[in-house]
Amino acid sequence: MPPKDTQRDKGSEEEEVLQAVVLADSFNTRFKPLTLNTPRCLLPICNVPMLLWTFESLALAGVEQIFVFCNAHSDQVKEAIQTSRFSQPSSGVHIVPIVSPRAMSVGDAMRELDEKQLISSDFILVAGDVVSNLQIDEVVKEHKERRKKNKDAIMTMVVKRSGAFHRTRPVGDASVFVLDPTTSECVHYESILAEPAKRSIMLPREVMEKHHEVEVRNDLIDCSIDVCSVDVPVLFSENFDYQDLRRDFVHGVLTSDLLGKSIYCHVVEQGYAARVRDTKSYAAVSKDIISRWTFPLVPGDNLPGGDEYEYRRGNRYISKDNVMLSRTCTIGNDTIIGPQARIHDNVRIENSVIGPRCSIGPGTIIRDSFIWDDAYVDAGCTIEGSIIGQAVHIGTGSTIKKGCLIAEGTKLGPKAVIGEFKRISREKPPADEEEEEGEEEIAEGVVNGMAHAKRGHFSRMPLALELGEQAEAYVWPDTVGADVGADGRSSSAARDADSEDEETEAWGNLKHLRLGMYQADISLSWTEYGFDPYFSDTDSSDDEEESSLASPASGVLLTPSGDSIPDFSLAPRSSANFRSECVSSLERALAEGHTVDDAAIELKTLRMASNVTMTEVRDVVIEFVVGLVKGEPGSAAQKNNISPVVERWAGLITNLMASERVEMLLLLQVRFKTCARLPNYLAAFKFFLYAFYNEDIVEASSIRAWLKDPRSREAMGKASQANMEACWKQGAHTLAVIEADEEDSEEEDEEDDSE
Amino acid sequence: MLFPNNDGAISSKTPEFHAIILAGYGNNLDPLVDDEKGVHKALLPIGNQPMVSYTLQWLEEARVFDVLFITPQSHKAAIQHHLSSSNSSWPSLRVELESVDDEEAESLGAADLLRMFADRIHSDAVVLPCDFVPPPSLPLNLLLNAHRVDVEDPVITALLVETGEEIKDGPMPTLMGLHAQSNTLLFVDDNADPDDDVSLRMNMLWRYPRVQLTNRLMDSHVYIFRRTIFDLLQQKDDISSVREQLVPFLCKLQYQPRRREKYGPIINPNANMQELALEHSTTYTASPAQTQRASKEHPIHHSIVSTPFSPRSGASTPAVESVPASQIADEPEEPPSDHPIRCNVVVHRLKDGYAARANTLGTYFELNRQCLRTTATAPVTGEGIDPKAQVSPDSLVGASTRIAERTTVKKCVIGKHCIIGKNVRMSGSVLMDHVEVHDGAKIENCIVSSNCRIGKNASLRDCHLQTGWVVDDEASHKGERLKRFEAYEDED
């Protein structure tokens, strides 16, 4: 239809067709339970499915062929592609869905891509939930130029300059890039998770020999847009253990001496690109779209999906399609009202997105929330800082506090009271979520072994939670313990460090949680004074990242604190099954007296089957062995019990640990630090250490190495820090016993640096 | 009481800056220095001037008049002599010469010396080595102004010098991290082990998200210290070296809240003057965080502020009450205080002129060459120079030096009272005073100390000669360090 499309077609046909690969699956479960029935890439952001935003961004860059990898709910994705405007022949874009139910990670998808031989030249690799208005074709051009000179420049990552505390740069999922400022070659990459908190990053010294000047950048947003050469999928096939694109692939390529490949970064100074990584960035990206950072892709203009909106003062967008607004309702700033929405009398909506065909009953107050399609909210409700899924029914007089995720089709109320940070769905939470619950129990009482106490997942907490009489809903177990309210910090102890490849766990959550607490006060005062939370950074820079250091405001968007949606990401429990199976296998081995070799083989098979890392296995084994020791914490009986247990399992531990002694000690330490409330129990650490030493599982040198390892003193969360340190001190003591000449342990540094 | 005398305040009595020149032994300049013969590092000539005079002139130009000159006891007399004899180049300097016992001086670091003489310094200090030779494009005032104008009131301003390509026998570069946007020195790699990875702290990267790491910069050992650094040195008596300990320590103070909490009050004793003044104002309501912080860090001020007019006792803001005190107290990291500690840095780029410390043979040699580059381009003539001798314009010849016929001199620095014979070829070399070069000798890329004698037709290349060394006739040396162990009989 528009002549320029066809022209472009012709123009580029002589050249190569620009291809893009969209990974529609995110391979994590941060949006659960919202993603139970809908794939994540089809969740609406500003009333448009995320996938369409991605397509639009790619079309803007002149991409002509798009391969969409889908895994979960692939039929829905296909259908969405079918019905979108991109499936029409005039769109100039050819979209090919590829269903790969086997793919469990980005790595698997890339291997499949290599197998299918779909890619002919350099292509754009992008996640299915990216919103961007960048000219990606410029980056492709730059990449190709570079490839001409240097065949080994296999990838260009698009990163955007912002501040360290930019709202679309989630604290739990950031990364540090070390770039050569002249060539913008990426010489080192390190991902920064909220937990375990990194104290420092380690830059290999060889880097400085090759590049005399490098820049360490902690102010870049990883846009998840990469321009890759055809070598990239091949490399994934060659290195079949690569899973994550960044943590495995980029890190692997940069640290490998053999590959000799290099990766470059394209630092975007202008324009917008962000990925919806979790619920927190979901909120952030929504706000960015509403504030028109994504121009020209904004509501009221070129909104993907084609709905038309009327753009009013104060970033209010009212659909032009049969919206019913009551005369007495108040629509605040930064709000989108979707098509055919019905807003009744005295409704107050601020800072929110109301989906198509929603109905908001009289007197309801909605703040900082996202109400998706067809939701029905009855009269007199209060909804703050939450995501309400499709066709949710909320009865009269309900209250939903901030941070809740209400999944599709749930019925609540009347008079439901939902506390902060609840996740509610219509379906029963799957079994592995229960496991999660059990695990927390264990963490509190490791002493008594593997007691899988299954607390009812339909737990009603009378004070915080009231679902209402006609509710059809299940409350999901809290990932952040219920005791958060009590002192706001305790449950980081309950999260152990199994997060080998999982993101943003309790500490990250917790931080946001506490942030939320603050923000309640702040945003209230804002409304009173009529401030616009987006652009007034007067208070926010002080309050928002109170816990961290303030950002020297270098970002385009100054750290606003309008994003009261915290990171609700669950601890994704693909490995939870594995854990329970492991434990039962070990129990069987114990009961039936298997040899350690048999047990080891069994564990390895399990590991292969569930595709988890070695660390996980080690963790389970350590946990199990520690749990086997019976006796009153700190008592002599327990002390005496340790050595027979360790003796019995020494072979297995040695077998599994291979050479990773230091790691094992770390795991042991972590295991101990979780029992925050049992001071006596901590004392057993040194006996374990000693027993391990006696059984030749560890040597003095590995203990020393462990003591030196920065991770052993790392702050794993504030509450547990003391325990980590206690363990560490005990370790130091034990080593001193084992070996008389214990080194000076840099007391000064210890004292000054521990935070 | 409320407004105690600020040490840093400019008054008629205390000068704005007090300069401290540290002169050491120059162990890396072996074999040029020879303490037994009274050849001291500070007095080694660069471009026919003792190197310390560059430093003194630099101070004179910047009008920093009060100078404390610290030198080992054994050097004192010679330096005293030099200071009094050539007073004309720095007429307004008030140089106080102090010495430390030789044995102590061997073991003491620069920070130890500063600690020792701390009671002599009552204002901010400019600490300089005796061996820094600044190019004309880098006046000291540039540095002083950088220190003066910075709104954040840096505790230290350091001068970093770009080294460019590595110079032979030059100093080993260290890895340094800068925040280029704010000229802040963030990181000095104090890890001596080259096998270890470089560890960059995350709290640094959160506070300064963009860190430029480079090993192309040298610490010039020229610093401007705030007066309170001396107090800090008294407190932390394990700091011995300025470059290796004090500067990294100050860098860490910038982003390690715990350390700052501990040492900040020493460095910023009057940090909360502004806060205090504000608290006495009737219209001021402290933010809860500030109030908390103030009470946490400076409990002493409670007694002062709880006057009837203070807002704390009167109309405290509701915000203060709504936030439980425990929450703020439990903050894992303290919010950046209103008086951050900042290490300012001035980077001198190579393209603006070569600057270096003459503390290694490589840089000493290079600085001499640089001196030639900046001297006049007119052909060198003098009463002692035979008209038939060829002396290239980029050479420097000292007074009373005689150069005989058919001798060519290219790119050389020749000191005073030298006698150079016929048919001598010299290029790219440094000759100090009283050197005798006999007929037909060839000298290329050498440093020849004073009182040396180079025999007939001798050939020297890439050699460094000790004071009073005698090269025999027809001898040939290449790439050697000519230094005597017991051969005293060679002397003439």
DSSP per-residue letters across A195-261: TTTPSEEEE-HHHHHH-SEEEEESSEEEEEEEEE-THHHHHHHHSTT--SIIIIIIHHHHH-SSS--
Predicted pLDDT of residue A150: 87
- Which among B207, B216, B262 is the nearest to A549, CB-wise? B207
Q: Supply B491's token pair.
A: 């002397």
Please tell me which residue, A686 or A753, carries the higher pLDDT value: A686
Q: Supply A116's token pair.
A: 């299918």
Summarize pLDDT for A555-612 with one digit per residue, the tens.
Answer: 333 333 333 333 333 334 455 677 777 778 778 777 777 777 777 777 777 777 777 7
CATH label of the domain that carries residue B339: 3.90.550.10
Mean pLDDT, chain B, rounded, equals 78
Please tell me which residue, A612 or A238, carries the higher pLDDT value: A238
Examine the domain organization and report whether B45 and B86 are in the same domain: yes
Question: pLDDT above 90 covers what percent of chain A?
Answer: 16
- Put simply, the answer to whether B194 touches A205 (Cβ < 8 Å) is yes
Examine the domain organization and report whether B137 and B233 are in the same domain: yes
Examine the domain organization and report whether A45 and A128 are in the same domain: yes
Please tell me which residue, A320 or A92, carries the higher pLDDT value: A320
Query: Which of A102-116, A219-233, A578-592, A701-715 shows the lowest mean pLDDT across its residues?
Result: A701-715
Residue A749 lies in a domain: no
Domain with A679, as residue range(s), is 572-743
- Which among A199, A212, A217 is the nearest to B209, CB-wise? A217
Summarize pLDDT for B182-192 with one digit per residue, the tens.
Answer: 888 988 886 66
Query: Which of A347-351, A519-523, A563-567 shows the lowest mean pLDDT across its residues?
Result: A519-523
Examine the domain organization and report whether A241 and A377 are in the same domain: no
Summarize pLDDT for B437-455 with one digit per residue, the tens.
Answer: 999 999 999 999 888 899 9
Of A279, A295, A326, the position where a domain reaches its end is: A279
Residue A145 lies in a domain: yes
Tracing tokens 């040695």 back to the chain, one arrives at: A654
- Which among B182, B206, B214 is the nearest to A548, CB-wise? B206
Residue A144 lies in a domain: yes
Examine the domain organization and report whether A608 and A706 are in the same domain: yes
Beta-carbon neighbour count of residue A16 at 10 Å?
A: 14
Looking at the predicted structure, is the pLDDT value of residue B410 above 70? yes
Residue B80 lies in a domain: yes
Nearest-by-CA chain A residue for B254: A549
Spatial separation of the C-alpha atoms in residues A560 and A167, rounded to whole Å: 7
Q: Print burial letters for B413-435: b (CB count within 10 Å at least 16), e (below 16).
A: bbbbbbbbbbbbbbbbbbbbbbb
Test the B interface: residue of A510, A546, A708, A751 with most B CBs within 10 Å = A546
CATH label of the domain that carries residue A76: 3.90.550.10
Summarize pLDDT for B11-37 with one digit per residue, the tens.
Answer: 456 788 999 999 888 877 878 887 777
Examine the domain organization and report whether B485 and B348 are in the same domain: no
Mean pLDDT, chain A, rounded, equals 72
In total, how many domains does chain A have?
A: 3
Examine the domain organization and report whether B336 and B384 are in the same domain: no
- Put simply, the answer to whether A164 touches B205 (Cβ < 8 Å) is yes
Examine the domain organization and report whether B84 and B202 are in the same domain: yes
DSSP per-residue letters across A313-335: TTTEEEESSS-EE-TT-EE-SSE
Residues of A in contact with B193 (CB under 8 A): none
Spatial separation of the C-alpha atoms in residues A15 and A125, rounded to whole Å: 20
* Cβ contact B129:B102 at 8 Å: no
Q: How confident is the model at residue A431 (pLDDT cuts 50, 70, 90)?
A: low
Q: How confident is the model at residue B281 (pLDDT cuts 50, 70, 90)?
A: confident
Residue B292 lies in a domain: no
Examine the domain organization and report whether B107 and B245 are in the same domain: yes
- Put simply, the answer to whether A204 touches B319 (Cβ < 8 Å) is no
Residue B364 lies in a domain: no
How many CB pairs below 8 A link A and B? 134
CATH label of the domain that carries residue A670: 1.25.40.180
Q: Supply A60's token pair.
A: 């803007």
Examine the domain organization and report whether B343 and B412 are in the same domain: no
Residue A262 lies in a domain: yes
Predicted pLDDT of residue A673: 59
Residue B275 lies in a domain: no
- DSSP 8-state class, residue A311: E
CATH label of the domain that carries residue B419: 2.160.10.10
Nearest-by-CA chain B residue for A215: B212
Examine the domain organization and report whether A271 and A317 are in the same domain: no
Residue B2 lies in a domain: no
Residue A307 lies in a domain: no
Residue A39 lies in a domain: yes
- Put simply, the answer to whether B257 touches A202 (Cβ < 8 Å) is no
* Cβ contact A143:A65 at 8 Å: no
Q: Which helix (H) or strand (E) holds A702?
A: helix A700-708
- Put simply, the answer to whether B287 touches A163 (Cβ < 8 Å) is no
In total, how many domains does chain B have?
A: 2
Examine the domain organization and report whether B213 and B168 are in the same domain: yes
Examine the domain organization and report whether B33 and B130 are in the same domain: yes
Handedness of CA B319, B321, B323, B326 (dihedral sign): positive
Residue B290 lies in a domain: no
Looking at the predicted structure, is the pLDDT value of residue A682 above 80? no
- Which among A552, A718, A752 is the nearest to B259, CB-wise? A752
Residue A205 lies in a domain: yes
Examine the domain organization and report whether B47 and B172 are in the same domain: yes
* Cβ contact A415:A463 at 8 Å: no
CATH label of the domain that carries residue A384: 2.160.10.10
Summarize pLDDT for A138-173 with one digit per residue, the tens.
Answer: 899 899 999 988 888 899 999 988 887 887 776 667
Examine the domain organization and report whether A247 and A350 are in the same domain: no
Domain with B142, as residue range(s), is 14-268+307-322+331-357
* Cβ contact A541:A559 at 8 Å: yes
* Cβ contact B42:B55 at 8 Å: no
Summarize pLDDT for A384-404 with one digit per residue, the tens.
Answer: 989 999 999 999 999 988 888
Residues of A in contact with B256 (CB under 8 A): 752-753, 755
Summarize pLDDT for A629-664 with one digit per residue, the tens.
Answer: 766 555 666 667 777 777 777 777 777 766 666 666
- DSSP 8-state class, residue A371: E
Please tell me which residue, A183 or A16, carries the higher pLDDT value: A183
Looking at the predicted structure, is the pLDDT value of residue A502 above 50? no
Residue B130 lies in a domain: yes
* Cβ contact B355:B363 at 8 Å: no
Residues with Cβ within 8 Å of A463's Cβ and at least 6 positions away in sequence, in order, are: none
Question: pLDDT above 90 covers what percent of chain B?
Answer: 7
Examine the domain organization and report whether A335 and A205 are in the same domain: no
- Across the range B398-409, mean pLDDT stands at 87
Predicted pLDDT of residue B6: 45
CA angle at B256 for the pair B250 and B260, rounded to the nearest 5°: 65
- Put simply, the answer to whether B259 touches A216 (Cβ < 8 Å) is no
Examine the domain organization and report whether A246 and A352 are in the same domain: no
Examine the domain organization and report whether A242 and A190 are in the same domain: yes
- Put simply, the answer to whether A208 touches B181 (Cβ < 8 Å) is no
- Which among B196, B215, B335 is the nearest to A546, CB-wise? B335
- Put simply, the answer to whether A203 touches B205 (Cβ < 8 Å) is no
Nearest-by-CA chain A residue for B209: A218
Examine the domain organization and report whether A255 and A351 are in the same domain: no
- Across the range B395-424, mean pLDDT stands at 88
What does R_g of chain B's alpha carbons equal in angstroms?
28
Examine the domain organization and report whether B150 and B28 are in the same domain: yes
Predicted pLDDT of residue B316: 36
Residue A712 lies in a domain: yes
Which one, of B25, B123, B109, B142, lies nearest residue B73 by Cα?
B25
Task: Specify the length of chain B in residues.
Answer: 492
Examine the domain organization and report whether B36 and B92 are in the same domain: yes
Determine the angle formed by the axes of helices A614-628 and A576-592, rounding to 10 degrees.
50
* Cβ contact B403:B391 at 8 Å: yes
DSSP count for chain A of H helices, then E strands? 23, 36
Summarize pLDDT for A70-107 with one digit per residue, the tens.
Answer: 887 888 888 888 888 888 888 888 888 888 888 888 88
